[in-house]
Chains A and B, each alone.
Chain A
Amino acid sequence: MAVLRNYLPIIAFLFSVIFMRLPMEARAQEAVPIRLYEQKIQAGLIYNLLKFTTWPDSAITDDKLHVCLYGGDPFDGYLNPLKGRTAQQYVIEITEIYQMDDLFHCQLAFITPSRANELARLLPALRGKNILTVSTIDHFIQKEGMIEFAVQKDQRIHLYINGSATRESGLTISDRILNLAEKSVR
């Protein structure tokens, strides 16, 4: 037990950090800005992209905006409440997709990071197809992706837009959103 005694100050310190701090921090709550799960922020941003992007009429065949989650749902279900809501005059549809061929009927394709290794053939295949590509994969816009959500050291989500790739696909993103992007490839 002599060994334990040497470490008592460390243990005491840790317990004080954990337990003494709590009430104090709870009081400081008002000063804190909005805090949200990353998935909720991203889901909110997807909704805004649906509201502020114009697809050519020919791209929308069934009066629906199809949001396709390629490689699964990275939003932990937080995007699902959008199902059946409308953006512009279209009903939003959300589908998980695992085969590349199923992407072509989508208006917005979200590529999960687990499929990052497929970008090199995925993005060229989608080029010019009226599909807004969105991802959290690093350097997504440098790889010809259109919209990138990046969590930076400041614990905020940063929006990067590849303007030329978006225009090439016949999509128009409103200045409302473009002006918020920090790194646009024009």
Chain B
Amino acid sequence: MLFTACAVFSLTAQASTDDYFDLAPEQLLSAQVLSASKKVEDVADAPAAVYVITQEDIARSGLTSVPELLRLAPGVNVARADSNSWAISIRGFNSLTANKILVMIDGRTVYNPLFASTLWEVQDLPLEDVSRIEVIRGPGGALWGANAVNGVINILTKSAKETQGGLVSAGAGNYENGFVTARYGGKTGEDSYYRVYVKSFSRDNLKTPSGGRNHDEWQDYRSGFRLDWGDRDAADRVSIHGDVYHTDTDQFHQSYSLTAPYSSIGEETIRSNGGNILGLWRHRYDDGATLKIQSFLDCTNRKEILFHDRRTMLDVDAQYNFSPQGRHEIVFGGNYRLTMDDIGGSDAIEFNPASLTQNLFGLFAQDKITLTPDEWYLTVGTKIEHNDYTGIEIQPNASLEWTPDDRQTVWGSVSRAVRTPSRIERDLNIQNITLPPGSFFGSLPAEIILTQNDDFNSEELIAYELGYRNSITNNLSIDTTAFYNDYDRLASSTLLTPFTVNNGIDPLHLVLPLLAENDMSGDVYGIELAGSWRVTNGWKLSAAYSYLNILLHAPTVAGLSQETAEKRSPQHQANIRSYWNLSENWTLDTMAYYVGRLPADDVDDYVRVDINAGWRVLDNLHVNLVGQNLFGGSRREFSPETDDNAAEQGTSFFGKVTWQF
């Protein structure tokens, strides 16, 4: 109804000017640019802390996976826990299931509602087909809804038209056992294009902290397609994309008992697979207004000894974007998401209910108001969502932007964002996880139990941000942001009063009852800096630095969660990258990354140096030689040494050949 009403409006308000070829050059240059649809896509101009990882960065960094590429963005902490798992967060709270960033691939959310995080090991695609990765630090709840608390990552692929022809890239090295991507793009009609791809890789294990062989090898197989078509004169565009994948990741699995030896370690292979299909229809009205309707279906399946998760998500999203004549740029829309899951437990864990169907409804509106043309802009917006766990959630945002001249932008914003409970936080019950005698206190073995908490609530954030961007010269630009985040109702684990059990079946033991609660609050502040300098035509330098300080407050019974959350994100991070064109056919790129210490798990700070040498053998044949972690020996980036799956990585090399036809 709403959309029909707006469509009617836009028809009456349009001023049709089709004879743009008859306009004098003076008239063209003084015409005001209408590009409402571009506004939404062009995040680099938004009053927010945005960093864009470009295709150039992807090609020149020598990094081979989406999670590793996020190292390039300021303020993002990427920690590789083992060969196939990553802890990735923005502005603190890092963990293997970091829960405050929302990740999307071409508009499809890959935020997993079971863990409230992203399973990075199953998010992959041909990196050659990625157009850019937008990393937005700070809350995005007003546009994207719940769980975009500390940031949003948008991975966007190129259109089928931009990936015409064939591409084969393949390589291998001492860690990369082998990888291959094959893609072909063609035309199906006047205005319609397609591409199909297959990609596969096998990556080796890392080392355990004691120098042994870790059990973390993995293999990934995937295939997908994209179709883009539409009668461009009618301004309708339709895209359909889809992917299927299968990923096998190895890990150590611990089993428990209340009698000696209390625990034993075995090896297992986690099998994950899934498929998704997404359709997007965009209609542009003659006055520049756009209507976008998108729907996707995403099925995932993950099977490990501890649990088996089957999940189906159906999402429909519509947004309408228009600039009524004058000073407003308005976007509003609604969405609905249906999630159905079925989680099989094991001896140790159980979900109650095991199957759940959840509905999510959302409405949002945003208006960018020009207060003074070319100088002051005010953006206000909010998203109102209803989810089955916590009911209505409201996430407003207001930001003010000042552009004193063409080169500088100053902006400030205040926003509220929430993270809604995950299935784990609401419905998980743990039993039979034991600790050997002496590990807690006394000489009794202990059993940890967790009972589901149906009152677990959303985490809440009020964020204040201030940013400044300056293109000082055409070759030198800087971008800096300062923020203060005020969190409330943060997740905490509370240890209730322990008691002993002597039931005649199990040996006498201590029970440690845990409860997931919202007992923590926090103050987090930091600054982020990014700069780039094109020194000469053939040499570009980029650098980034971020500082973070986390202060959490929790009652002593929840002290454990406070300690680890405070000390699992580095205070200082920096990187510097040099892209250097040695000659017509040779490039030499050097990247250095610094990540500060993580006191919680005794992880040392480190410097990582990568070098990527590229040789253009022929116009369509490229060869790259990449060395990663070149100096400093092997190191542990995340999990404590005592973790079953703790891993250390050392130097690795690989060669890669890319052929286009």
Contacts and interface: CB of A to CB of B under 8 A. Distances in A.
Interface of A: 1, 3-4, 7, 10-11, 13-15, 17-18, 21-22, 24-26, 28-29, 32-38, 40-41, 43-45, 47-48, 52, 71-73, 76-78, 81-82, 85, 98-101, 114, 116-117, 120-121, 124, 138-139, 142-144, 151-159, 176-177, 180
A34 B374 contact: no
5 contacts: A3-B391, A25-B325, A45-B25, A114-B162, A154-B374
Interface in B368-403: 373-374, 380-382, 384, 391-392, 394, 396, 403
Contacts of B330: 17-18
B33 A18 contact: no
B122 to A, nearest CB: 28
A124 B585 CA distance: 13
B56 A117 contact: yes
Contacts of A142: 474-475
A150 B455 CA distance: 54
A181 to B, nearest CB: 9
B291 to A, nearest CB: 15
Given A44-B28, A117-B56, A36 B158 contact: no
B21 A81 contact: yes
B310 to A, nearest CB: 34
A147 to B, nearest CB: 12
B365 interface: yes
Contacts of B325: 25-26, 28-29, 32
B328 A25 contact: yes
A44 B403 contact: no
A172 B538 CA distance: 28
Contacts of B27: 34
A3 B394 contact: yes
Contacts of A34: 17, 23, 27, 30-32
Contacts of B34: 35-38
Contact of A114 (B9, B13, B55, B620): B55
B161 interface: yes
Contact of A7 (B162, B324, B394): B394
Contacts of A7: 382, 384, 394, 396
A29 B232 CA distance: 27
Contacts of A138: 474
B288 A35 contact: yes
Nearest to A143: B537
Given A4-B394, A34-B32, A153-B405, 20 more contacts: A3-B391, A11-B382, A14-B367, A17-B328, A17-B367, A21-B326, A34-B31, A35-B31, A35-B34, A35-B288, A38-B38, A41-B29, A45-B28, A72-B161, A73-B161, A76-B232, A77-B191, A82-B21, A116-B56, A121-B584
A99 B158 CA distance: 17
B26 A180 contact: yes
**Which 8 A/B pairs are nearest by Cβ-Cβ distance?**
A77-B232, A25-B326, A25-B324, A34-B31, A44-B20, A117-B56, A40-B20, A48-B25
Nearest to B326: A25
B111 to A, nearest CB: 23
A28 to B, nearest CB: 5
Contacts of A114: 55, 131, 158, 162
A21 B365 CA distance: 14
Nearest to B330: A18
B31 A18 contact: no
B59 A117 contact: yes
A71 B162 contact: yes
Nearest to A72: B161
B260 interface: no
A152 B365 CA distance: 26
Interface string B238-272: 00000000000000000000000000000000000
B406 interface: yes
A22 B380 contact: no
A38 B35 contact: yes
B324 A22 contact: yes
A114 B130 CA distance: 11
B365 A18 contact: yes
Interface residues of B, number: 69
Contacts of B55: 114, 117
Interface in B1-36: 9, 12-13, 15, 17, 20-21, 23, 25-35
A156 to B, nearest CB: 6
A18 B26 CA distance: 34
Interface in B275-323: 287-288
A85 B20 CA distance: 14
Contact of A41 (B20, B534, B619): B20
Contacts of A121: 584, 616
Contacts of A21: 324, 326, 328
A72 B159 CA distance: 10
B131 A43 contact: no
Interface string B37-55: 0100000000000000011
B28 A157 contact: yes
**Which of B23, B327, B391: most chain A Cβ within 10 A?**
B23
B581 interface: yes
A113 to B, nearest CB: 10
B382 A157 contact: no
A165 to B, nearest CB: 13
A27 B365 CA distance: 23
Given A36-B17, A38-B38, A100-B619, A18 B232 contact: no
Contacts of A11: 382, 384
Contacts of B202: none
A151 B232 contact: no
A10 B365 CA distance: 11
Given A10-B382, A36-B20, A152-B406, A157 B537 contact: no
Contacts of B56: 116-117
A145 to B, nearest CB: 11
A159 B31 CA distance: 13
Q: Which of A7, A11, A22 neighbours the largest number of chain B CB atoms within 10 Å of its CB?
A: A22
B236 to A, nearest CB: 11
A44 B33 contact: no
Contacts of B405: 153
Contacts of A77: 191, 232-233
B619 A32 contact: no
Contact of A36 (B31, B380, B474): B31
B109 interface: no
Contacts of A28: 325-326
A117 to B, nearest CB: 4
Nearest to B36: A37
